Amino acid sequence: MALSEDRLRAVLAWVVIVLVGGPVAGAVLLGVAHGDSPCILCWAERTSMVLIALCGLFVIRYGPRPRYLGVTVLLGVWGVYMSLRHSALHLARDVGQGFSAAIFGVHTYVWALVIHVTVLAVIGALLLLLRQIAPAEGVHAPSRAGRFAMGLFIVVVAANALQAFASTGPPPFFGQGDPVRLSLNPRHWVWSFEELEPYYVSLRGSWTIPTPDPGAVDPDPGHGPLAGLPSIAVSGWERIGVPLNGALSGVARDSATGRFLAVTDHYGVYLLDSTLARVLHHVVLDPGFSVDLTPLIGAAFVGGDTLAVLSTNKSYALLTPVPHADDRLEWRHFLETDGQVSEVGLGRFQTVRAHQMYVLSLAFDPAAQELITVSVPNPRHHQLVVSRFARRDLTLSSEFGPQLAPDLAPAGPSRTPAEYVVTGAVVADGRLYAISAAYSTLLVVDLKDRKLQAAYAVPGLARPVGLAARGAQLLVAQADGRIAVLARPTP
């Protein structure tokens, strides 16, 4: 089956009638009948549909000239972009949540996507069937359907113009991000510039979150956000006595066996003996399959023989030593393995208050059976959030921003504990001990009262990346593999 040009114009007349008489006219009717009022993005999507219909009128009148087809395809692509950008604001919300009313269970921004994709599909189908694109120059008299399409277009667009006048106002006002319902009473009309303030162009907006760089922070405890902190001296140094496949990026110690778990910035995971001189097991995780693992930054023993490692994007892997791992099964998990480690889980922690914030630490609270992360600040989110995840289902169980104990004082009116960059954490005696690479400070958080109970300057540290407890000692692991031994304070 092939379309002649006359047949194409006839088909397009009906396409215009359906497009204008359906979603575009329907949107106005929804406004009049139910008060539905478009936001500024909805207006652009509706305008795009109107312009696509206008392109159809051009073809009906002048034939399928390439520039009409080009503009129509561009409008279709632009409409898909707009509706995707718009829908992204709401698609990931909880079940049933959306913006404004739904039509047949689907919100208008999703309908805009459906319509623009359909437009592109119809254009493709019509071009596929069109016998030739060599239209005769000149003006064509529209058919009856063509005249009806033009008349309908004028009426519906005029109605849209009236709605736009009431809803957005005359120049220079324009649409609003959060419109009120449509009213024919001028007292309720809202004409505003709100979308201009503040006006800036950004590629990713609030998703522009730089990856954390603990090496770039100020290590001087004297510059920290809390004033007059007592110091804890390093009482001794130890070091990891085996070669690792990269810089050390996290460490944990099993209080039951004395074994250590170390991770590196090259996805190496090492189970070490209590002397740090012998590798019991090791693997190198495959960071690309299937959960995307950014650099590993934390490790924890989470009960039994299960080992947990965490990457900066809060994605985790659970591993366990086994006498003989299945080579075929584990090949997909590890780039290197000693053949005695099995992956038992891979996933991502979901946070609420720490959303859009990276982490650089992982701890395990054996009493509560919870894994704990501490967020690090970024230019868009400046807060310190302790997130707790139930070991049972690895789901968020609580989050809090620790309040300052009365005897801790900020060093200035704008200074807050959110300036600390926690790179290592461990739970001992019901307290969360956290070491901050920024200002080389040890923080003590009471997990019951959710308070920042105490803080101590620890001079002499260089790039701390992990924290472990050994009896009355704290072990601060550095990126260079050295481990500083401190007396564990019990405030």
Partner 1 sequence: MPARTREQTIVLTMEFLNFLIILWAAWLVWRRPERERLAFRLLVISCLLMAFLFFIGSHGSLIPGVNL
Q: What are the residues binding partner 1 (CB under 8 A)?
A: 39-41, 43-44, 47-48, 50-51, 54-55, 57-58, 61-62, 67, 71, 74-75, 78, 82, 84-89, 92, 139, 142, 150, 153-154, 157-158, 160-161, 164-165, 167-175, 177, 193, 195-196, 199-208
For residue 11 the two structure tokens come to 């088909």
Name the one residue in this structure whose structure tokens are 């019951």: 448
Minimum CB–partner distance for residue 388 and partner 1 (Å): 24
Minimum CB–partner distance for residue 373 and partner 1 (Å): 18
Backbone angles phi, psi at 271, to 5 degrees: -95, 120
Under 8 Å between Cβ of 437 and 423: yes
Minimum CB–partner distance for residue 83 and partner 1 (Å): 10
3-state SS string over 463-482? CEEEEEEECCEEEEEECCCE
Backbone torsion region of residue 205, taken as left when φ is above 0, otherwise alpha when ψ lies between -120 and 50, otherwise beta = left
User: CB under 8 Å to 50, separation ≥6 — which residues?
Assistant: 20, 24, 157, 160
Minimum CB–partner distance for residue 411 and partner 1 (Å): 33
Backbone angles phi, psi at 182, to 5 degrees: -70, 135
Name the residue type at position 151: G
DSSP string of 275-289?
TS--EEEEEEE-TTS
- Residue 9: strand, helix, or coil: helix
For residue 214 the two structure tokens come to 């603990």
Residue 318: its H or E element: strand 315-321
* CA–CA dist 177, 40 (Å, integer): 6
Minimum CB–partner distance for residue 140 and partner 1 (Å): 8
Nearest to residue 439, comparing CAs of 228, 231, 221? 221
CB of 90 or CB of 470, closer to partner 1: 90
Q: HSE on the CB side for 33, CA within 13 Å?
A: 7
For residue 199 the two structure tokens come to 């006006």
How far is the CA of 125 from the CAs of 28, 134, 169, in angstroms? Answer: 29, 18, 39
Name the one residue in this structure whose structure tokens are 């299937």: 290
Residue 155: its H or E element: helix 144-168
Minimum CB–partner distance for residue 142 and partner 1 (Å): 8
β-pairing, 464-470 with 422-428?
unpaired
Minimum CB–partner distance for residue 435 and partner 1 (Å): 29
CB of 185 or CB of 414, closer to partner 1: 185
Minimum CB–partner distance for residue 362 and partner 1 (Å): 21
Under 8 Å between Cβ of 109 and 116: no
CB of 41 or CB of 428, closer to partner 1: 41
Backbone torsion region of residue 339, taken as left when φ is above 0, otherwise alpha when ψ lies between -120 and 50, otherwise beta = left
Minimum CB–partner distance for residue 193 and partner 1 (Å): 6
Minimum CB–partner distance for residue 5 and partner 1 (Å): 16
| Cis check: omega of the bond before 198, within 30 degrees of 0 | yes
Minimum CB–partner distance for residue 173 and partner 1 (Å): 6
* CA–CA dist 142, 153 (Å, integer): 14
Under 8 Å between Cβ of 483 and 475: yes
DSSP state of 23: I
Minimum CB–partner distance for residue 84 and partner 1 (Å): 6
CB of 205 or CB of 379, closer to partner 1: 205
